[in-house]
Amino acid sequence: MRRRASGILLHLTSLPGRFGIGDMGPAARHFIDFLAEAGQSYWQILPLNPIMPVHGNSPYASTSAFACNTLLISPELLAEEGLLDSAELGRADLPPDVPVNYLTVQEVKRKLLTQAYSRFVEQGDDADYRRFCRDENWWLDDFALFASLKERFDDRSWTDWPQELRDREKSAIQRAAEELSDRVSYEKFLQYVFLKQWGALKEYCAQRSIHIVGDIPIYVYDDSSDVWANPELFKLDGQKKPAYVAGVPPDYFSKTGQRWGNPVYEWDVHRQTGYAWWVKRLAHNMRLTDFVRVDHFRGFLAYWQIAAREKTAVNGTWVEAPAMNFFTQLSRKFPYLPIIAEDLGIITPDVRELMNHFEFPGMKILLFSFGPDMPRNPYIPHNLPRNCVAYTGTHDNNTARGWFEHEATEEDRERLFGYSGRTIEAAHVPREMIRLLMMSAANTVIFPMQDVLGLGSDARMNFPSTTQGNWEWRLTPEQLSEADATWLSEMTQIYGR
Q: What is the pLDDT along the chain (497 residues), one digit of tens a residue?
A: 889 999 999 999 999 999 999 999 999 999 999 999 999 999 999 999 999 987 889 999 999 999 999 999 999 999 999 999 999 999 999 988 889 999 999 999 999 999 999 999 999 989 999 999 999 999 999 999 999 999 999 999 999 999 999 999 999 999 999 999 999 999 999 999 999 999 999 999 999 999 999 999 999 999 999 999 999 999 999 999 999 999 999 887 688 998 999 999 999 999 999 999 999 999 999 999 999 999 999 999 999 999 999 999 999 999 999 999 999 999 999 989 999 999 998 789 999 999 999 999 999 999 999 999 999 999 999 999 999 999 999 999 999 999 999 999 999 999 999 999 999 999 999 999 999 999 999 999 999 999 999 999 999 999 987 888 999 999 998 999 999 999 999 999 999 99
**Under the phi-then-psi rule, with left for phi > 0, alpha for psi from -120 to 50, and beta for the rest, what region is 382?**
alpha
| Distance, CA of 123 to CA of 78 (rounded, Å) | 14
Alpha-carbon separation of residue 2 from 9, 36, 92 (angstroms): 19, 20, 45
Q: How far is it, in rounded angstroms, from Cα 409 to Cα 412? A: 5
Burial 100-119 (b: 16+ CB within 10 A, else e): bebeebbebbeebbebbbee
Hey, which residues are catalytic here?
Answer: 295, 342, 396
d(CA 139, CA 141): 6
Residue closest to 25 by CA, chosen among 490, 485, 477: 477
| DSSP bridge pairs for 307 | 244
pLDDT (0 to 100) of residue 125 = 87
Is 247 in contact with 304 (CB distance < 8 Å)?
yes
pLDDT of res. 464:
85
pLDDT of residue 166: 97
**For residue 474, with 0-12 CB atoms within 10 Å meaning exposed, 13-18 middle and 19 or more buried, which class applies?**
buried
Task: Provide DSSP, 363-425.
Answer: EEEGGGS-STTGGG-TTSGGG--SSEEEES--TTSPPHHHIIIII--HHHHHHHHHHHTS---
Question: Taking Cα atoms as reference points, which of 410, 484, 417 lies closest to residue 450?
Answer: 484
**Domain coordinates in residue numbering, the chain:** 5-494
What pLDDT is stored for residue 467 in this prediction?
81
pLDDT at position 104, please?
Answer: 95
Domain 5-494 has CATH 3.20.20.80: yes
Q: What is the pLDDT of residue 69?
A: 98
Per-residue pLDDT at 346: 79
Which residues does 427 contact at the CB level (< 8 Å), separation at least 6? 401, 454
Give start and end residues of each alpha helix (H) in 294-426.
323-333, 349-358, 400-402, 410-420
Q: Whole-angstrom Cα distance, residue 467 to residue 121?
A: 38
Q: Roughly what angle, to the nearest 10 degrees, separates helices 323-333 and 349-358?
A: 10
**127/120 Cα distance (integer angstroms):** 12
pLDDT score at 489: 98
Check: CB of residue 69 under 8 Å from CB of residue 21: no
Answer for the pair 487, 35: CB distance below 8 angstroms, yes or no: no
Whole-angstrom Cα distance, residue 396 to residue 274? 34
pLDDT at 65: 97
Collapsed DSSP state (helix, strand, coil) of residue 481:
coil
Please tell me the distance from the alpha carbon of residue 369 to that of residue 39, in angstroms, as a whole number: 27
Q: Letter for the amino acid at 192?
A: Y
Compute the C-alpha angle 296/301/306, nearest 5°.
Answer: 70
Beta strand residue intervals within 93-168, DSSP E: none
Radius of gyration of the chain (CA): 23
Three-class SS state of 451: helix
CB environment 334-347: b (16+ within 10 A), e (fewer)? eeebbbbbbbbeeb
Residue 159 neighbours by CB under 8 Å, 6+ apart: 166, 222, 223, 239, 240, 241
Residue 474: name the closest of 56, 69, 94, 5 by CA.
Answer: 94
